Chains A and B, each alone.
Chain A
């Protein structure tokens, strides 16, 4: 009897031990879900500064004010272009849905004085001539890729998971990405983009992140296009969370009116 109990205890201990290992260490999908669902407030405001540098070292700058809100099932984003002067007063709005629906997108062009609905079939297009695509700037849902933990290592002094993500669909510009995720903060620190030949062609480096209003946020990143020898630095200034902005702000009315009110 005692022998049977000892054996049962041993099996339970083993099961608990194995289970602890199974449930304590997340898999690749769980890591990426932790990043995707990292608390980011109900709404956010930030000023974006984009500096593009070409192979000759000459630079061009873009200034944008961005507002976003999470209404539960819809993430809404509204961007106002402030500079350079030829794109000033242009605004762009996107509504992203938690279900499988395509994003709704509109653009306001001051020359046309009209808010135009545009196709969302442009996720691989460059954003304002930068090295970021619209997809890079959006929040890629974890289920759009298959994720595998390659290893764990320290990166920039942060204990990190190194995750390989392979797109499920066939409409992406890359064949896979490898991303370094800070373990306790659930922030991506670096991402490498691979082409069909398995070569790295684009690298995103996070140069600064901080905790603002209680939320971790990336405030300085550099995207380098190795094929074009071109890079884009994106800085976020004046970041504010939970400002109390309401859903009604994300409207045709505001796109025409601009960011001031």
Chain B
């Protein structure tokens, strides 16, 4: 599912953080009264019929070690991948300590944080960066990266107040330049400048949420770094490949405010989520025709919204979402579109005493003004059979099609059939 080149972005600092976290947590684990080990082993093979190759043969071990004290909980979640080349990737997905108080919980350490109501989209859910080395095809647990953070939740009846401090910025992991998921634009952004670890470069997020019978709702705000870098400088087009010596990729600050909501109307669940990214930096291409293309950034507000429905029809779980992104005060030189429309659709059902599950998840990108030429899609049908308790085999196809310049259609050659075997313990 991923390129197995070890991601070494500041891995020295990351390793030190992990080691410090483990040093803090191990005594608690040893002293904990209740210890639990669980995990998952997975073998995954993916073949591309258009290319006639088998780019993915991957073995994964994902271990969870948890301990509970009177008012504490610790979690260590190491993982290891071994790919076709035999290069191992070993890391710590999460390593944190929970402190429980009567009306407050505090979590300290490397943790994945999930906000919002969207499924397969990230709108207010921007606290944890993403691992996009396999595009968006990785399991949900593997798409979100753990980040060193301090999180505090205060509970007041149906209200929860949450504050998160990320002492240092960790960007989204993009595909390596030799990955089948790397695009030309990603290659130009492959080594972005990262902000220093000074405290003024830390990130802050806050959220208040309501949990009740009538509805669930969240309001959030954050002062963050954009996980995706922007480009500045010149790209020399006279050489092949283009010379990027005068081109810089860097991350910029922005402020985000947003919220989400879900309720039930009859037998249908209605979900919505929206966020405004204020003064977010976008890359513009000033002169693409000259021997050296010039990239420059400009700041714009961006709106990102979603409306979704979940329902059941003849026992089949269905879900549909419409997602819109809009850039305010748009400049045609920007490399991003002013409007971005996406529809998602999911069907899922289990049969044979829930041992056989079929699912179809679909993303469709489109431009309402030119649907015929702009539409592209990712179709993800899969079939999962539970061989016995905790052991399942899954087979499916990731089908990319449509507009070759679209976010899904550009990966048409990566259309892939796969089979995976999972063993949970």
Interface residues of B (CB under 8 A from A): 34, 38, 40, 68, 71, 73, 100, 105, 112, 114, 139-141, 144, 153, 155, 160, 211, 213, 216, 262-264, 266-269, 310-312, 315, 350, 353-355, 386, 388-390, 392, 422, 424-425
Q: Find A111's partner among B141, B353, B388 (CB 8 Å cutoff).
A: B141
Between A and B, 22 residue pairs with Cβ closer than 8 Å are A60-B388, A84-B389, A85-B38, A85-B424, A85-B425, A86-B424, A102-B267, A112-B140, A113-B112, A113-B141, A113-B144, A114-B114, A117-B216, A117-B264, A119-B268, A121-B312, A122-B312, A129-B353, A253-B153, A257-B73, A260-B73, A261-B71
Residues of B within 8 A of A95 (CB): 213
Query: Could you list 13 further interchain pairs (A-B, Cβ under 8 angstroms) beyond the known A118-B310, A119-B268, A251-B211?
Result: A84-B390, A85-B390, A86-B424, A111-B139, A112-B114, A117-B262, A121-B312, A129-B353, A252-B211, A253-B153, A253-B155, A257-B73, A257-B100
Could you tell me the distance between the alpha carbons of A85 and B268 in the complex, rounded to whole angstroms?
30
Contacting B at CB under 8 A, from A96-119, are: 102, 104, 110-119
Residues of A within 8 A of B315 (CB): 125
Say if the beta carbon of A12 comes within 8 Å of chain B: no
Residues of B within 8 A of A251 (CB): 155, 211
- Contacts A85-B424, A102-B264 hold; do A126 and B390 have CB atoms under 8 A apart? no
Could you tell me the distance between the alpha carbons of A120 and B264 in the complex, rounded to whole angstroms?
9
Residues of B within 8 A of A85 (CB): 38, 40, 389-390, 424-425
Chain A residue with minimal CB distance to B392?
A86
Q: Which 7 A-B pairs have the closest CB atoms?
A: A129-B354, A121-B267, A85-B424, A84-B389, A129-B353, A113-B114, A86-B424
Could you tell me the distance between the alpha carbons of A226 and B390 in the complex, rounded to whole angstroms?
27
Contacting B at CB under 8 A, from A127-160, are: 128-130
Could you tell me the distance between the alpha carbons of A120 and B153 in the complex, rounded to whole angstroms?
29
Q: CB distance A126 to B354 under 8 Å?
A: yes
Say if the beta carbon of A61 comes within 8 Å of chain B: yes
Centre residue among B155, B160, B266, B389 by max chain A CB count within 10 A:
B389
Q: What mask results when residues 62 to 101 of chain A are scored 1 for a CB within 8 Å of chain B, else 0?
A: 0000000000000000000001111010000001000000
Q: CB distance B38 to A261 under 8 Å?
A: no
- Contacts A95-B213, A113-B114, A253-B155 hold; do A52 and B141 have CB atoms under 8 A apart? no
Chain B residue with minimal CB distance to A114?
B114
Q: Find B267's partner among A54, A88, A117, A120 (CB 8 Å cutoff).
A: A120
Expressed in whole angstroms, the minimum distance between the Cβ of B260 and any Cβ of chain A is 11
Could you tell me the distance between the alpha carbons of A29 and B127 in the complex, rounded to whole angstroms?
55
Chain B residue with minimal CB distance to A109?
B140
Q: CB distance B310 to A119 under 8 Å?
A: yes
Query: Interface majority SS on B: helix, strand, loop or mixed?
Result: strand
Chain A residue with minimal CB distance to B98?
A257
Say if the beta carbon of A230 comes within 8 Å of chain B: yes
Residues of A within 8 A of B112 (CB): 113
Q: Find A60's partner among B34, B267, B389 (CB 8 Å cutoff).
A: B389
Q: Find B390's partner among A86, A112, A130, A261 (CB 8 Å cutoff).
A: A86
Q: CB distance A117 to B160 under 8 Å?
A: no
Could you tell me the distance between the alpha carbons of A116 and B425 in the complex, rounded to whole angstroms?
25
Residues of B within 8 A of A115 (CB): 211, 216
- Contacts A111-B141, A252-B160, A261-B68 hold; do A119 and B388 have CB atoms under 8 A apart? no
Q: CB distance B389 to A117 under 8 Å?
A: no
Chain A residue with minimal CB distance to B112?
A113
Residues of A within 8 A of B139 (CB): 111
Residues of A within 8 A of B425 (CB): 85
Residues of B within 8 A of A122 (CB): 312
Could you tell me the distance between the alpha carbons of A122 and B105 in the complex, rounded to whole angstroms?
34
Expressed in whole angstroms, the minimum distance between the Cβ of A138 and any Cβ of chain B is 16
Q: CB distance A88 to B312 under 8 Å?
A: no
Q: CB distance B153 to A104 under 8 Å?
A: no
Could you tell me the distance between the alpha carbons of A128 and B68 in the complex, rounded to whole angstroms?
27
Q: CB distance B264 to A104 under 8 Å?
A: yes
- Contacts A85-B424, A85-B425, A261-B100 hold; do A119 and B114 have CB atoms under 8 A apart? no
Q: CB distance B353 to A230 under 8 Å?
A: yes
Q: CB distance A253 to B160 under 8 Å?
A: yes
Residues of B within 8 A of A86 (CB): 386, 389-390, 392, 422, 424
Residues of B within 8 A of A126 (CB): 353-354
Could you tell me the distance between the alpha carbons of A121 and B144 in the complex, rounded to whole angstroms?
31
Could you tell me the distance between the alpha carbons of A52 and B71 in the complex, rounded to whole angstroms?
36
Residues of A within 8 A of B389 (CB): 60-61, 83-86
Residues of B within 8 A of A119 (CB): 264, 267-269, 310-312
Residues of A within 8 A of B386 (CB): 86
Q: CB distance A117 to B263 under 8 Å?
A: yes
Could you tell me the distance between the alpha carbons of A54 and B267 in the complex, rounded to whole angstroms?
32
Chain B residue with minimal CB distance to A89?
B38
Q: CB distance A129 to B141 under 8 Å?
A: no
Could you tell me the distance between the alpha carbons of A240 and B311 in the complex, rounded to whole angstroms?
36
